[in-house]
């Protein structure tokens, strides 16, 4: 079945450091790929998405590129801020109007001043 | 911006008791979901609901679980006889045909 694998955490960075969070997936067909973020005490929010190979999703300085050849969707940000401290989830959705999301385990990012 | 709301934010119940988790999806959305996250583990799909019926459910969603849309606004998850291993954060989500999922803030269920 479909699955998403994220790198082990937690990750602690200093402000303005470069961030990479790895995500790889296994799926049949051509899934859509997502990054969701969960700030402390809040629900899951969509951060960015990509629906086909070589698409780049971007939002709030974060980027991720849909790499079909490596089945990856790594999240990057050039300069993290303290306010980026949150839990980040990679997810996929198989094709279809009613398809569910399959999530990775999530990784906690802490950014120190 | 419209949002999915879940109540209560934290529910404590004794093993064997019934519990109902409540959700109000975004008003024009047609697809509704429940997910759960046991502490330290993945966010897991439980069930999806469309056109007043379950469209898909996972292995986790056994006979102890049920969902209902009792009126035009609420979407509930019922656990008939809670077990210790049902302790988790439960997320409700909704979407319309072409939108990504919008999640609520979750209900933390603690079974003692």
The pLDDT tens digits for A28-71 are 888 999 999 999 878 889 999 999 999 999 999 999 999 999 99
Residue in chain B nearest A50 by alpha carbon: B100
- Give the pLDDT of residue A98: 54
Asked whether the beta carbons of residue B56 and residue A34 sit closer than 8 angstroms, the reply is: no
The pLDDT tens digits for B21-71 are 999 999 989 999 999 999 888 899 999 999 999 999 999 999 999 999 988
The pLDDT tens digits for A97-112 are 457 899 999 999 999 9
- Give the pLDDT of residue A8: 84
Quick count: other Cβ atoms within 10 Å of Cβ B28?
9
Mutation target vs B (from A44, A46, A48; most B CBs, 10 A cutoff): A44
Quick count: other Cβ atoms within 10 Å of Cβ B4?
25
Task: For residues A6-10, give the mean pLDDT.
Answer: 89
Q: Helix, strand, or coil here: A54? A: coil
- Give the pLDDT of residue A43: 83
């Amino acid at each position: 079945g479909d699955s998403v694998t994220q790198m082990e955490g937690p990750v602690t960075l200093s402000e303005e450091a470069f961030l990479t969070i790895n995500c790889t997936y296994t799926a049949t067909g051509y899934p859509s790929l997502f990054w969701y973020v969960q700030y402390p005490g809040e629900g899951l929010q969509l951060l960015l998405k990509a629906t086909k190979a070589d698409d780049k999703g971007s939002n709030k300085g974060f980027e991720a590129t849909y790499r079909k050849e490596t089945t990856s969707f790594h999240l990057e940000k050039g300069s993290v801020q303290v306010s980026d401290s949150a839990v980040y989830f990679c997810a996929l959705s198989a094709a279809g109007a009613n398809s569910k999301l399959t999530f990775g385990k999530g990784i906690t990012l802490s950014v120190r001043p | 911006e419209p949002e999915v709301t879940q109540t209560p934010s934290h529910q404590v119940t004794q093993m064997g008791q019934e519990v109902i988790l409540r959700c109000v999806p975004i008003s024009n959305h047609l697809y509704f979901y429940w997910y759960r996250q046991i502490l330290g583990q993945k966010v897991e799909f439980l069930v999806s609901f469309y056109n007043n019926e379950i469209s898909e459910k996972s292995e986790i969603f056994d006979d102890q679980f049920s969902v209902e849309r009792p009126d035009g606004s609420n979407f509930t998850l019922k656990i008939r006889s809670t077990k210790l291993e049902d302790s988790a954060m439960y997320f409700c989500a909704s979407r319309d045909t072409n939108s990504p999922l919008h999640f609520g803030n979750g209900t933390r269920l603690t079974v003692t």
